[in-house]
Amino acid sequence: MKTPLTPLALAERAFKYYDRRLAVIDGDREDTYGTWSRRIFQLARALKATGIKPGDRVAALMPNTGAMLDIFYAVPWIGAILVPLNTRLATDDYGYILEHSGSRVLVVDSNLWTQVEPLGERLPEVWVTGAPIHGRPEYYSLLSRYSGDPIPLPDIDEDDTMTLNYTSGTTARPKGVELTHRNLLMNAIDFAYHLGVAMGDVYLHTLPMFHVNGWGGVWAVSGVGGVHVTLPKVDGSRIWELIHRHGVTRMCGAPAVLNMMLQVADTPRVTKPVRVATAGAPPPAAIIERMEALGFQVLHVYGLTEVSPFITVSEWLPEETKDPVELRVVRSARQGVAQILAGEIRVVRSDGQDVTPNGEDMGEIICRGNVVMKGYYKQPQETAKAIRDGWFHTGDLAVVHEDHYIEIRDREKDIIISGGENISSVEVESVLFRHPAVQDAAVIGVPHEKWGETVKAIIVLKPGMGPTADEIIGFCREHMAHFKAPTTVDFYQELPRTASGKVQKFVLRESYWKGKAKRIN
């Protein structure tokens, strides 16, 4: 008596039991689960009427809006596959993804129309949300033509692809990660369990929904009758405004988003605890400490698009709550232990043997289990490179501590090898964030005649602060081994980042390695 494992079961539960409860706050618009479900079913019927069949792909290019939330439910409800598009790609990238995925419909926000308009005849059928665009059906007008009566759950296989999530394409053509109904339900349950989402919680969508399906929050919050609050554009002041206006209790965001919140002048402490999951880069201990002081409980999680995207969590232990904050935040900055449904996670050396759990022996994080992707769409060779002998290889280098907590030291490509010594850019960045004048920072390796590579710090200063490069270098040498400290420092107005908050280090490296055949010396 098996039923397929799918996040749509969470939605079906919400629509049945919470129909009168508030579901979505989208600007000035509010919907209960009852009114929201009607719109979702209208959209499902509209898609079917335009010829979308099970297995067809439907793309969405939108910020965090109510319409974007609708699409995460309506598209798979008719057995189709959703392709959420990063809102910060180049026009050519959109052309590639739409053609590679074979998307038959594109739903686009009018504010993003100029990014795809030049594709002309290469575009599939286009529906528009927001301001009208001549010749293109307007989303809400289109939906009004169809019934919002309930539609039974589709007859699906839990191993069918539910979303096709394209990696950011920062170093090459983006790859389409096939995530199944089973993958995404496992992740949504992990999201709800570890973030502690329950009825009465109010979740602020600070994280882009297109980024691995909002890490699963688009479905997990509904499953327990929580409230979704949309945020089309990430802005520190706006985040604080919505937190206080709507009583937000849960949110997610990269460390860069938390740092953005901390830069708001006269930031008020929250009146009740807000639990926030952060990932995308190891959060500097200084950021965790400052967020805690404002009433936030920071939960560090780790994963990749290919694993739906969570596999580890840095949990709080009850006996630790009385420890001094400076001790707790160091441990919280680690990636942690396997999440409840993540499967098996190991850190292995190049010979395939597990590293010694001593906090020093470094290897690659590998995993297998219910959250690992089906594969890269139409790219079997790339899939075979990533999944070997039944294990997904993350490319992240880490150590394991005696308490079994995993701590990433770097990406394989981000390790700096200077004079034969391996230097973790993440470790150096953690020290830089402790400097009182540093607002943002990134560390890369740059060419050096004698040592092959040397450490360069790239820093964004806080307004009104003006330390010299020598002062920054001296600070680092006081807090870490001298050979790891930066030898040069450059000051930037801002760092190039992906929409999910990751620093695009390949962009930073380019000017320093220009003319070199390799990005390693």
Q: Which amino acid is at 219?
A: W
Cis link prior to 309 (omega < 30° from 0)? yes
Residues of the chain with CATH 3.40.50.980: 8-17+26-186+208-214
- Between CA 302 and CA 183 the distance in angstroms is 16
Element (H, E) at 488: strand 488-491
Residues 6+ apart with CB under 8 A from 258: 276, 278, 283, 287, 291, 298
* C-beta neighbour count of 185 within 10 angstroms: 27
Structural contact between residues 175 and 372, judged by C-beta atoms closer than 8 angstroms = no
Q: Helix 255-262 to helix 236-246 angle, to the nearest 10 degrees?
A: 80
Q: Is 109 helix (H, G, I), strand (E, B) or coil?
A: strand
For the record, the structure tokens of 43 come out as: 């959209």
Q: Which amino acid is at 430?
A: S
Residues 6+ apart with CB under 8 A from 214: 64, 72, 205, 207, 208, 252
Structural contact between residues 421 and 377, judged by C-beta atoms closer than 8 angstroms = no
Structural contact between residues 247 and 274, judged by C-beta atoms closer than 8 angstroms = no
Rounded CA Rg of the chain: 23
- Give me the phi and psi of 113, to 5 degrees please: -60, -40
Structural contact between residues 6 and 76, judged by C-beta atoms closer than 8 angstroms = yes
CATH (residue range 8-17+26-186+208-214):
3.40.50.980
Residues of the chain with CATH 3.30.300.30: 415-513
Q: Which of 240, 194, 246 is nearest to 220 (CA)?
A: 194
Q: Which of 168, 102, 139, 42 is nearest to 498 (CA)?
A: 168
Q: Are strands 416-418 and 250-252 parallel, antiparallel or unpaired?
A: unpaired
Using CA atoms, how far residue 119 sits from 82, 116, 122, 124, in Å, is 20, 6, 5, 10
Q: Is 353 helix (H, G, I), strand (E, B) or coil?
A: coil
Tens-digit pLDDT profile for the chain (521 aa)?
789 999 999 999 999 999 999 999 999 999 999 999 999 999 999 999 999 999 999 999 999 999 999 999 999 999 999 999 999 888 888 999 999 999 999 999 999 999 999 999 999 999 999 999 999 999 999 999 999 999 999 899 999 999 999 986 444 578 999 999 999 999 999 999 999 999 999 999 999 999 999 999 999 999 999 999 999 999 999 999 999 999 999 999 988 889 889 988 777 899 989 999 998 766 777 888 889 889 999 999 999 999 999 999 998 778 887 888 777 877 888 899 999 999 999 999 999 999 999 999 989 999 999 999 999 999 999 999 999 999 999 988 899 999 999 998 866 667 787 865 668 788 899 899 999 999 999 999 998 876 778 999 999 999 999 999 999 999 999 988 787 899 999 999 999 987 667 788 888 988 888 876 444 45
DSSP 503: B
Alpha helices, DSSP H, located in 196-235: 217-223
Residues of the chain with CATH 2.30.38.10: 342-410
In the block, which residue shows the tokens 């998307």? 103
Q: Which amino acid is at 506?
A: F
State the Cα angle at 145 between 142 and 126, rounded to 5°: 20
In the block, which residue shows the tokens 């990932």? 279
For the record, the structure tokens of 150 come out as: 């309930």
Q: Which of 21, 344, 16, 36 is nearest to 218 (CA)?
A: 36
Using CA atoms, how far residue 214 sits from 305, 313, 356, in Å, is 11, 17, 35
| Residue 287: predicted pLDDT | 86
CATH level 3 topology of 415-513: GMP Synthetase; Chain A, domain 3 (3.30.300)
Alpha helices, DSSP H, located in 175-266: 181-195, 217-223, 236-246, 255-262
Q: Is 441 helix (H, G, I), strand (E, B) or coil?
A: strand
CATH (residue range 342-410):
2.30.38.10
